[in-house]
Chains A and B, each alone.
Chain A
Amino acid sequence: ETAVFQTPNYHVTQVGNEVSFNCKQTLGHDTMYWYKQDSKKLLKIMFSYNNKQLIVNETVPRRFSPQSSDKAHLNLRIKSVEPEDSAVYLCASRGWGGQDTQYFGPGTRLLVL
């Protein structure tokens, strides 16, 4: 049962363009994340938001910026894409208290030409 939704599924663009990816969760969770999954399937956290506030900002290039309008939405904007940004971007959410489980969306695959 899908509860973390991501759009688009797939996006092809050229170097220098701006792209924006959307994520919405219907689980009522307070914390959301963005991960990057590279071609070797390595998963690395990029950002974490708790109730619209940024709490984790890993070392990512400044052209990446998360945007949150409310705790159910966490979007990702890339200002000027580079070839190395080609990857799958995964959104996830986590419950509160002692619930550690993160629930992932299906991902957005970005291809930069």
Chain B
Amino acid sequence: GDSVIQMQGQVTLSENDFLFINCTYSTTGYPTLFWYVQYSGEGPQLLLQVTTANNKGSSRGFEATYDKGTTSFHLQKTSVQEIDSAVYYCAMSDYGSSGNKLIFGIGTLLSVKP
């Protein structure tokens, strides 16, 4: 079945470090791919999304490229800041017979030290 795999459960970085969160997906369809971010005490909010394969999405310095060849949608940021500390979810839309829904990865808790 459809699935999203995020490898890192927790990442700890210092300010200005490079961020890379691995995400791969599995589906027989043509999904839209998302990164959501959840700050402490809030619900997840959309960080970026890409509908078309081989396109790149970017927001607030974060980037992710929808790579159909490697079925990946890794999240990157060149220089993280303390305010980026949050949980990041990779997600994929599933247009199954039971209606549209999102399939989320396990989430990556990012802690950025000042």
Q: Size of chain A's interface in residues, with CB distance under 8 A?
A: 25
Q: Does A101 contact B (CB under 8 A)?
A: yes
Residues of B within 8 A of A20 (CB): none
- In angstroms, Cα B94 to Cα A55, docked, is 13
- Asked if A100 and B89 make an inter-chain contact with CB atoms under 8 angstroms apart, the answer reads no
B101 contact from A42, A56, A90, Cβ within 8 A: A56
Does B109 lie at the interface of the complex (its beta carbon under 8 Å from any beta carbon of A)?
Answer: yes
Per the bound structure, the CA–CA distance linking A107 and B39 in Å amounts to 12
From B32, B41, B87, B106, give the contact of A106 (CB < 8 A). B41
- How many angstroms between the C-alpha atoms of A104 and B58 in the bound complex? 20
B107 contact from A41, A90, A104, Cβ within 8 A: A41
Beta-carbon contact of B100 and A100 below 8 Å? yes
CA distance A94 to B95 in the complex (A): 13
A48 pairs with B43, CB closer than 8 A = no
Chain B residue, CB-CB nearest to A102: B102
What does DSSP make chain A's interface, helix, strand, loop or mixed? strand
Q: Give the interface size class of chain B.
A: 20 to 34
Given contacts A42-B106, A43-B107, A100-B49, contact A94 B42 (CB under 8 A): no
When distances are taken between beta carbons in the complex, the residues of chain B under 8 Å from A92 are: 43
Extra A-B contacts (11), CB below 8 Å, given A42-B107, A94-B100 = A41-B38, A41-B87, A41-B107, A43-B107, A48-B98, A55-B99, A100-B32, A101-B34, A101-B49, A106-B41, A107-B43
Q: Lowest 5 A-B CB distances belong to which pairs?
A: A104-B43, A55-B99, A43-B104, A41-B107, A100-B32
Q: List 26 A-B contacts (CB under 8 A).
A: A31-B99, A41-B106, A41-B107, A42-B104, A42-B106, A43-B44, A43-B104, A43-B107, A44-B104, A45-B102, A48-B99, A50-B99, A55-B98, A56-B99, A90-B43, A90-B44, A98-B51, A100-B51, A100-B100, A101-B46, A101-B49, A102-B102, A103-B45, A106-B41, A106-B43, A107-B42
